[in-house]
């Protein structure tokens, strides 16, 4: 989806116990900071409010910003956004602008008290803490009986192979997370990669949000790593009823999924998987 991800070419030395040492070219996934700002109309001008700095792989930055604001409960509808743009000058020696401004439409109000502190987000940890929890309990409804969809186990078994088939940048670098959405028939909708698992999910959710396709209650989500609290939180904000992970879930992720009626699946690999919550959705 979107623009190609940024890659960095390096030369590395390989040392092995059973062969000669040698030097060879390698490719790395780029990790750079992205500052996300809100642009609020005031007296005919746009006033900027810094919201977050996240370490991400450049590419699909607009979707990432929109997805972040949506999953953190700052904005709720596509029509609240006037436009998204890059601003500022590229850093020395760089061709990319690492600041994105999400300009809101006239009349849209946000709770600035929730934005008083800036968030810093690493590539391994999203916005951890009370802001995410507060967003959940004020902006999420439990996934109710109207979304008691049924998915064959065979569809879940196919997810890892489908995900790997699209992880082009991971194949080159071995250093990226991925999130992929599918419909209930197991047909691939879209996928995104990033050094941060939460960023990859925000990119996917942001694209659907900007297309006016939320809530996503007719979609299955597969993530490449573990199922953390933050991924469950973001998926719940998007209304996704089934979250599957290649790795393990955390205890808080399971508690959260159970509380809000999500089906949470882990260890999807080698033709088996574990269902932690919402087993009634899997046939």
Show which residues are catalytic: 125
Strand partners, 186: none
Q: Buried (b) or exposed (e) across 182-209, using 16+ Cβ within 10 A?
A: bebebeebbbbbbbbbbbbbbbbbbbbb
Q: CA–CA distance from 164 to each of 70, 182, 199, 252 (Å)?
A: 27, 14, 18, 27
Report, in angstroms and rounded to the nearest whole number, the Rg of the chain calculated over CA atoms. Answer: 19
In this structure, the dihedral spanned by the alpha carbons of residues 212, 217, 218 and 223, taken in order and rounded to 10 degrees, is 90
Q: What distance in Å separates the CA atoms of residue 242 and residue 251, rounded to the nearest whole number?
A: 17
Indicate the pairing of strand 32-42 with strand 263-269.
unpaired
Q: Strand order of the sheet with strand 263-269?
A: 188-194, 177-183, 219-223, 242-245, 263-269, 272-277
Count of all residues that appear for the chain in the document: 283
Count CB neighbours of 104 within 10 A: 20
Helices assigned H by DSSP within the chain: 61-71, 130-139, 153-166, 168-173, 197-210, 229-237, 251-260
């Amino acid at each position: 989806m979107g623009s190609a991800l940024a890659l960095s070419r390096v030369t590395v030395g390989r040392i092995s116990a059973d062969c000669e040492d040698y030097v060879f070219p390698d490719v790395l996934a780029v990790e750079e900071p992205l500052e996300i700002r809100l642009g609020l109309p005031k007296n005919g001008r746009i006033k900027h409010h810094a919201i977050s700095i996240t370490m991400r792989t450049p590419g699909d930055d607009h979707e990432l910003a929109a997805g972040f604001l949506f999953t953190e409960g700052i904005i709720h509808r596509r029509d609240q956004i006037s436009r998204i743009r890059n601003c500022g000058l590229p850093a020395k020696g760089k061709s990319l602008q690492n600041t994105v401004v999400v300009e809101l439409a006239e009349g849209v109000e946000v709770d600035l008290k929730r934005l008083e502190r800036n968030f810093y987000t690493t590539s391994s940890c999203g916005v951890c803490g009370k802001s995410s929890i507060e967003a959940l309990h004020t902006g999420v409804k439990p996934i109710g009986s109207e979304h008691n969809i049924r998915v064959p186990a065979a569809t879940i078994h196919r997810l890892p192979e489908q995900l790997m088939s699209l992880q082009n940048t991971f194949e080159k670098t071995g250093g990226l997370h991925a999130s992929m959405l599918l419909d209930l028939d197991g047909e691939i909708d879209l996928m995104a990669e990033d050094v941060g698992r939460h960023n990859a999910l925000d990119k996917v959710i942001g694209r659907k949000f900007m297309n006016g396709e939320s809530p996503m209650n007719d979609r299955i989500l597969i993530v490449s790593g573990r199922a953390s609290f933050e991924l469950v939180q973001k998926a719940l904000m998007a209304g996704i009823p089934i979250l599957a992970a290649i790795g393990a879930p955390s205890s808080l992720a399971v508690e959260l999924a159970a509380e809000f009626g999500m089906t949470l699946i882990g260890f999807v690999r080698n033709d088996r998987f574990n269902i932690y919550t919402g087993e009634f959705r899997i046939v």
